[in-house]
Each structure stands twice: as C-alpha cells, then as structure tokens.
C-alpha cells in the first residue's frame, strides 16, 4: 500500500513537471569562441529560451562568435579579471551562480567546466548532464583529465554522446545513463543543391589546428596538381597554424592554387557552388562543417576518423566518400573520382542533401529537451 501511494505521488510529480513549459536550464562551457561545440550550444539555447529560463556560464569571456538570443543570461567565472588562484575562484564563482540560479538541470560542454560542476554537485543538489563533444580518446588523453574524469564522471546524472564509438569509451555505468544525440544542421544550409556547373574549387572548413590535419590535405593536393591544375583549394577558418601553413604553401610554390580564406559568416553562400568538400581531420566528434557541406549538396570526402562522426554521416560511395586517415592515395583517388565522374558526384551530393534533412534544429533540440526532462523527473 505504501509503495502504491508512493508511485501515485511520483507519477503525479512527473506529469506535472512534463506539462510545465518553464524549466531553468544552465549551460556551462569554456568559451563562446568559434567551434563546433559552441555552435551547437548557441543553436540549442536560442531555441530553448523561447519557453525556458536559460543561462550560459563561461569560464572566460561572455563574448560570442555566434548569435545568442537576448533572453539568454550570460555569466563569466573570470569576470574578465585575472586571479592568483584562478581555478579556486572559478569554482567559487560557479558555486555562487548555481546557488543563486537554482536550475532544474545543468548541462556541461567540455571537460574543464564538467569537472567544476561535478565537484560542487553534491553541495547544491543539482541534476547534471555531461555532453561529450569530441573524441574522448583525445579529450581525456592527458593524465589530469583522465584522473578527473574517473573520479568525477560517475557523479553525473546523465550523458549525451554524439556517436556510439564515443559512448563505448566510457564505463558500463556511464553508458547505462546516457543517450546519443547528433548535432543539428542550421536551416540556412538545408537548401536545394546547386544544379548548374560547379566552380572548380575544392574547399575545407575548420580551425587551423593540428586536429584538422591540413598538411595531409596540402600534400595530397600537391599530387593532384601533377595531374590537373584547374582546381583551386580554399581553406576557411583561422587558428594558430596560419603562419606555418602560409610558409608551407609558399615554400612549396602552390600559393597560386591554395587560398587561406579566414573566417566567413556566410559559408552557405561562399561554398555553395564548390565542386568538392574535404574534411581531412585526425579526430572529430560530430563534424558540423561536414554536415553543413552535405546539407548544401556538395560532394564530400572525409577521413574515417574517430570517434565515428563521419562514418555515422557518410555511406561510402552513396552520399559521400570515406578515406583512411593520412592515406594520400585514397584521398587523391576520391577527388579524381568526383572530378572525372560528374554524375557520381551529383548523386552523392543529392543523397547527402536528402539525408541531412533529418537533422533539423527543431528535431535535435526536441531530443535534448526530452532527455533533460527524463533526467530531471
């Protein structure tokens, strides 16, 4: 009888909560600079804030590279100041903010913010969902991150992974309380594919960092130039490797054919008519740049890199081409296959465009909202 009464109360509480439109949700992330995790977070909060009280807490600056709705509250743990005991101050500021906000759920993006929230979780009695945004083998490679992850992650109430491969990295206990939610594609990329003759351009999009493996791309492109010189390579993005890549391009005398384009806020227009998109990365989570290029209907090539994002998106030779990491022969053959067989390229682009329509912001955000409600209730 007691258990039956308890179940009635529990079911009533869940129904009451699920029927409520308003939740207090806090997202914690290191920064709002340009990046895949930051872009996904901006898409989520701009949708959630229509019917929920949404806050973002960053480690450093609250300045955002992406549009954030004015309804979303922004806090910084550093408050633009430097501290001698900065990590202690950050944890203290985080504790104060969360105590004041009293959120229904806290969602953490990236390890540092996840560690801080889980460190004070018990004091605040909050529900915490950890969102793993990159290949965990690389994300938790350092001794510090590995130890912190093993000590703290079991305290989380839920986990969001982007792929099955990422999920399998963690313990069975963590896997049991997790879900898989892919990234959304911004509606501005979900257009009809370009139907006329495409520009003789090969494009890549991503930060100029080692993870993106641009030297592999440039080495392969040098081999392409021995066969054809009518396709130029444009790389969009900024990063700490810019000067090194410029030197490589100049030293190899390919500056006539390779352009570092920097950041661009209108990529959907800039690359729309391009012939080929290439993602040469060593590792990725769920690569936004690849999803957006596929949504535009551009014939795409990606390395089959961990943690499984590209192979989740690309059905080889059906809606794109997958190649082995650092395999110049495979990448070169993939490029030439698209160039020499326009019908095959068009087929892959059209199929990719159709497949990406399942990843609308609304559909993906509903998956997030359902999972948050499940954890909180």
* DSSP per-residue letters across 60-124: S---BSS---TTSEEEESSTT---TTHHHHHHHHHHHHHHHH--SEEEEESHHHHHHHHHHHHHH
Encode pLDDT of 182-217 as tens digits.
999 989 999 999 999 999 999 999 999 999 999 999
Regarding whether 256 and 122 lie in a shared domain, the answer is no
Regarding whether 64 and 22 lie in a shared domain, the answer is yes
For residue 69, give every residue at least 6 positions away whose Cβ sits within 8 Å of its Cβ, in sequence order, or none: 45, 46, 49
SS3 286: coil
Q: Identify the top-confidence range among 7-11, 32-36, 87-91, 266-270.
A: 266-270
Sheet holding 24-29, edge to edge: 73-76, 53-58, 24-29, 105-109, 128-131, 158-161, 178-180
Asked whether residue 8 is domain-assigned, the answer is: no
Give whole-number Cα distances, 59 to 28, 56, 91, 113, 352, in Å: 8, 10, 10, 7, 37
Encode pLDDT of 120-165 as tens digits.
999 999 999 999 999 999 999 999 999 999 999 999 999 999 999 9
> What pLDDT is recorded for position 1?
38
Give the tokens for residue 4.
């039956």
Asked whether residue 313 is domain-assigned, the answer is: yes
Encode pLDDT of 345-377 as tens digits.
999 999 999 999 999 999 999 999 999 999 998
Regarding whether 372 and 237 lie in a shared domain, the answer is no
- Calpha distance 37→60 (Å, rounded): 16
Regarding whether 368 and 341 lie in a shared domain, the answer is no
What does DSSP assign to residue 34?
S
pLDDT of 100 above 90: yes
Regarding whether 215 and 142 lie in a shared domain, the answer is no
- Per the structure, the count of domains in the chain is 2
Encode pLDDT of 108-120 as tens digits.
999 999 999 999 9
Asked whether residue 212 is domain-assigned, the answer is: yes
Asked whether residue 276 is domain-assigned, the answer is: yes
Regarding whether 117 and 37 lie in a shared domain, the answer is yes
CATH number where 148 lies: 3.40.50.2000
Asked whether residue 7 is domain-assigned, the answer is: no
Asked whether residue 5 is domain-assigned, the answer is: no
Regarding whether 272 and 160 lie in a shared domain, the answer is no
Domain extent, residue 208, equals 187-359
Regarding whether 294 and 154 lie in a shared domain, the answer is no
Query: pTM of the full predicted structure?
Result: 0.87
Regarding whether 194 and 162 lie in a shared domain, the answer is no
Asked whether residue 75 is domain-assigned, the answer is: yes
């Amino acid at each position: 009888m007691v258990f039956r009464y308890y179940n009635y109360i529990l079911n009533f509480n869940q129904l009451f909560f699920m029927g409520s439109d308003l939740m207090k949700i806090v997202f914690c992330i290191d920064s709002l600079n340009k990046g895949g995790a930051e872009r996904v977070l901006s898409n989520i909060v701009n949708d959630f804030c229509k019917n929920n009280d949404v806050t973002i807490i960053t480690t450093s600056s609250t300045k955002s590279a992406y549009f954030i709705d004015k309804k979303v509250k922004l806090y910084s743990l550093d408050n633009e100041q430097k501290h001698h005991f900065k990590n202690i101050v950050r944890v203290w500021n985080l504790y104060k903010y969360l105590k004041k906000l009293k959120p229904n759920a806290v969602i953490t993006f990236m390890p540092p913010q996840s560690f801080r929230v889980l460190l004070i979780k018990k004091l605040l009695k909050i529900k915490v969902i950890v969102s793993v945004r990159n290949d965990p083998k690389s994300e938790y490679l350092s001794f510090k991150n590995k130890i912190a992850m093993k000590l703290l992650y079991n305290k989380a109430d839920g986990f969001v992974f982007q792929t099955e491969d990422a999920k399998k990295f963690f313990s069975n206990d963590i896997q049991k309380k997790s879900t898989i939610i892919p990234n959304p594609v911004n509606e501005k990329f979900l257009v009809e594919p370009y139907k006329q003759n495409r520009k003789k351009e090969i494009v890549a999009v991503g930060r100029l960092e080692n993870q993106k493996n641009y030297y592999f791309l440039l080495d392969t492109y040098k081999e392409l130039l021995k066969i054809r010189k009518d396709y130029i390579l444009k790389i969009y993005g900024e990063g700490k490797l810019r000067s090194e890549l410029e030197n490589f391009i100049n030293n190899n005398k390919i500056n006539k054919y390779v352009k570092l384009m920097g950041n661009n806020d209108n990529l959907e227009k800039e690359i729309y008519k391009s012939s080929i998109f290439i993602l040469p990365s060593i590792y990725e989570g769920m690569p936004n740049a690849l999803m957006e290029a596929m949504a535009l209907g551009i014939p795409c090539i990606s390395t089959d890199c961990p943690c499984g994002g590209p192979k989740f998106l690309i059905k080889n030779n059906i809606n794109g081409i997958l190649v082995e990491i650092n395999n110049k022969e495979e990448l070169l053959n993939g490029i030439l296959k698209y160039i020499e067989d326009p019908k095959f390229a068009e087929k892959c682009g059209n199929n990719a465009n159709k497949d990406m329509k399942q990843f609308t912001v609304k559909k993906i955000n509903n998956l997030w909202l359902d999972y948050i409600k499940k954890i909180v209730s």
